[in-house]
């Protein structure tokens, strides 16, 4: 099939590349000429495991091309994916100006039947707005489909190639058939392609992400309560998660969720509710709790250093909002670093992928290290913010020699309290006894 993807951010790039993988001819459109040139030269502008291999292979096969020319892009595809940013507005709602801006141009340019697919995460009612915007000037027939993505950063290629479900929201039988044909090779395992009305499809994405954020937040609250009453959240988590109605996944407490989706989507769903005179009270609590959770370890650090962090050197392991990504959007590590710097502490940081992004924010206010042990060398304490695998089994003997005080603040519960007690470390984590 001939397909156009407008917007080569994270979602657009993964979508375009993975759709090319099954033999479709993809044109990706982006208005950033420098980025387009880089992609033409085979440079993947984001870090996402396995994407580079697919990217090279499909460029080589001429199934994946890039342009800044929207009109040419629109001429090419029978299906046009809109993978445009929907940033958070000041009031928490999703800013639709990019999506509707391109919709206007689609109306101006299309000359034959097109399926316009909203891939961006958009509030209920956006498909209707996109349709109305295109219809103002369109001289050809078109259908609008809501097709939310459920890609996790770090696993996006696998999630796209082997999705647990595909959601297609449209009232057009013709568009539904085209979309089913397009996705058929990806659901060979028997996972469903769910066709529904467009509003339900739009809401599915927000509801799924908000539910997951709520699940994590509930567990963070349980963890905070565990600390108060002397229970161990690890036992509670397993005790709960083995009930198949609850499930083991997404029950890991920590210093809060971050990233480009959960924070934005929870706030956007809350705001959409408000606009419809509906109060999503649970989401209000989720936002508040998560905000506090991100800096949860700071008072513990202050307590340990008797409110005197000035001049102390803190090694920070992990800056990305989660492992396997270089994304630092809403990353708890940055909230902790801000507080540490404000308190006069020095920060030595290490992350396997995200350092360049963090350098842009802090410059020389933070010392960026080449490896995890360079960060801990001579530091007063270690703070762990992201659960990269490399941090899971450190050389504790070396760490003890390097740190001027054997203390670890762990925002991701990477070690057991028993093992660290045995090794004679002070160990402060989330929802468990400090030793």
Question: Residues in the site for ligand UDX, rule: CB under 6 A?
Answer: 149-153, 209, 212, 216, 250-252, 254, 257-259, 261-262, 321-322
Q: State in angstroms the smallest separation of the CB of 404 from ligand UDX.
A: 29
Q: State in angstroms the smallest separation of the CB of 215 from ligand UDX.
A: 8
Do the annotations mark residue 30 as ligand-binding? yes
Q: Which two tokens stand for residue 1?
A: 């099939």
Do the annotations mark residue 198 as ligand-binding? no
Q: Which two tokens stand for residue 203?
A: 């809401």
Within a 13 Å sphere around the CA of 320, how many CA atoms are in the beta-carbon half?
18
For ligand UDX, give the closer residue by CB, 220 or 402: 220
Q: State in angstroms the smallest separation of the CB of 342 from ligand UDX.
A: 23
For ligand UDX, give the closer residue by CB, 212 or 341: 212
Do the annotations mark residue 322 as ligand-binding? yes
Other beta carbons within 10 angstroms of residue 378's beta carbon come to: 12
Do the annotations mark residue 251 as ligand-binding? yes
Do the annotations mark residue 192 as ligand-binding? no
Q: Which two tokens stand for residue 258?
A: 């971050």
Do the annotations mark residue 399 as ligand-binding? no
Nearest CA to 123 out of 6, 214, 203 is that of 203
Q: How far apart are CA 9 and CA 14, in angstroms?
A: 8
Nearest CA to 324 out of 354, 344, 348 is that of 354
Q: How far apart are CA 383 and CA 388, in angstroms?
A: 13
C-alpha Rg value of the chain to the nearest Å: 24
Q: How far apart are CA 235 and CA 230, in angstroms?
A: 12
> What do you get for the CA distance between the two ends of the chain, in Å?
60
For ligand UDX, give the closer residue by CB, 51 or 261: 261
For ligand UDX, give the closer residue by CB, 7 or 258: 258
For ligand UDX, give the closer residue by CB, 21 or 265: 265
Q: CB of 120 within 8 A of CB of 82?
A: yes
**Active-site residue, 261 included:** yes
Q: State in angstroms the smallest separation of the CB of 264 from ligand UDX.
A: 9
Q: State in angstroms the smallest separation of the CB of 243 from ligand UDX.
A: 16
Q: CB of 320 within 8 A of CB of 327?
A: yes
Q: State in angstroms the smallest separation of the CB of 372 from ligand UDX.
A: 19
Q: How far apart are CA 299 and CA 315, in angstroms?
A: 17
Do the annotations mark residue 71 as ligand-binding? no
For ligand UDX, give the closer residue by CB, 107 or 163: 163
Nearest CA to 265 out of 251, 286, 289 is that of 286
Q: Which two tokens stand for residue 119?
A: 């891939």
Do the annotations mark residue 182 as ligand-binding? no
Name the one residue in this structure whose structure tokens are 């307590």: 303
Q: Looking at 333-373, which runs of residues are DSSP E strands? A: 346-350, 367-368
Q: State in angstroms the smallest separation of the CB of 43 from ligand UDX.
A: 22
The residues near 162 (Cβ < 8 Å, ≥ 6 apart) are 186, 189, 191
For ligand UDX, give the closer residue by CB, 1 or 46: 46
Coil/strand/helix, residue 145? strand
Q: CB of 129 within 8 A of CB of 158?
A: no
Task: Determine the residue with CB nearest ligand UDX.
Answer: 261
Q: Which two tokens stand for residue 326?
A: 């270089």
Q: How far apart are CA 340 and CA 294, in angstroms?
A: 13
Which entry of 28, 226, 261, 385 is annotated as an active-site residue?
Answer: 261
Do the annotations mark residue 49 as ligand-binding? no
Q: Which residues are catalytic?
A: 261
Q: Which residues are annotated as a binding site?
A: 30, 35, 86, 121, 150-153, 205, 250-254, 258, 264, 322, 329
Residue positions in the annotated binding site for NAD(+)? 30, 35, 86, 121, 153, 264, 329
- Binding region for substrate: 150-153, 205, 250-254, 258, 322
């Amino acid at each position: 099939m001939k397909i156009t993807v407008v917007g080569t951010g994270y979602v657009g790039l993964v979508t375009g590349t993975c759709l090319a993988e099954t033999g479709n001819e993809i044109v990706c459109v982006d208005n950033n000429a420098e980025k387009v040139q880089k992609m033409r030269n085979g440079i993947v502008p984001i870090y996402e495991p396995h994407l580079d291999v697919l990217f090279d292979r499909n460029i080589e096969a001429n199934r994946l091309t890039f342009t800044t020319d929207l009109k040419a892009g629109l001429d090419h595809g029978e299906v046009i994916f809109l993978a445009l940013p929907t940033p958070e507005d000041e009031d928490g709602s999703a800013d639709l100006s990019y999506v509707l801006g391109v919709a206007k141009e689609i109306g101006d340019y299309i000359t034959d039947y097109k399926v316009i697919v909203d891939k961006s995460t958009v509030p209920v009612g956006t498909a209707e707005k996109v349709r109305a915007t295109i219809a103002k000037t369109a001289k050809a027939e078109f259908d609008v489909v809501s097709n939310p993505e459920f890609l996790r950063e770090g696993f996006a290629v696998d999630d796209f190639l082997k999705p647990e479900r595909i959601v297609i929201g449209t009232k057009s039988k013709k568009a539904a058939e085209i979309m089913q044909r397009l996705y058929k090779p990806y659901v060979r395992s028997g996972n469903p392609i769910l066709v529904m009305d467009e509003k339900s499809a739009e809401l599915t994405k927000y509801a799924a992400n908000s539910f997951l954020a709520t699940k994590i937040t509930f567990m963070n609250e349980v963890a905070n309560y565990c600390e108060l009453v002397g229970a161990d959240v690890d036992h509670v988590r397993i005790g709960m998660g083995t009930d198949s109605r609850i499930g083991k996944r997404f029950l890991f407490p920590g210093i809060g969720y971050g990233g480009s989706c959960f924070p934005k989507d929870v706030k956007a769903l809350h705001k959409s509710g408000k606009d419809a005179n509906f109060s999503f009270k649970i989401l209000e609590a989720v936002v508040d709790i998560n905000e506090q959770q991100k800096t949860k370890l700071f008072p513990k650090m202050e307590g340990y250093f008797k409110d005197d962090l000035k001049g102390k050197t803190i090694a920070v392991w992990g800056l990305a909002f989660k492992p396997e990504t270089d994304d630092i959007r809403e990353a708890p590590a940055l909230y902790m670093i801000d507080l540490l710097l404000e308190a006069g502490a020095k920060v030595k940081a290490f992350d396997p992928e995200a350092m360049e992004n963090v350098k842009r924010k802090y410059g020389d206010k933070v010392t960026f290290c080449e490896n995890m042990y360079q960060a801990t060398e001579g530091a007063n304490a270690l703070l762990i913010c992201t659960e990269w695998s490399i941090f899971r089994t450190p050389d504790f003997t070396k760490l003890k020699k390097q740190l001027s005080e054997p203390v670890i603040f762990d925002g991701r519960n990477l070690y057991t309290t028993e093992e660290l007690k045995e090794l004679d470390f002070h160990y402060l984590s989330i929802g468990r006894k400090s030793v």
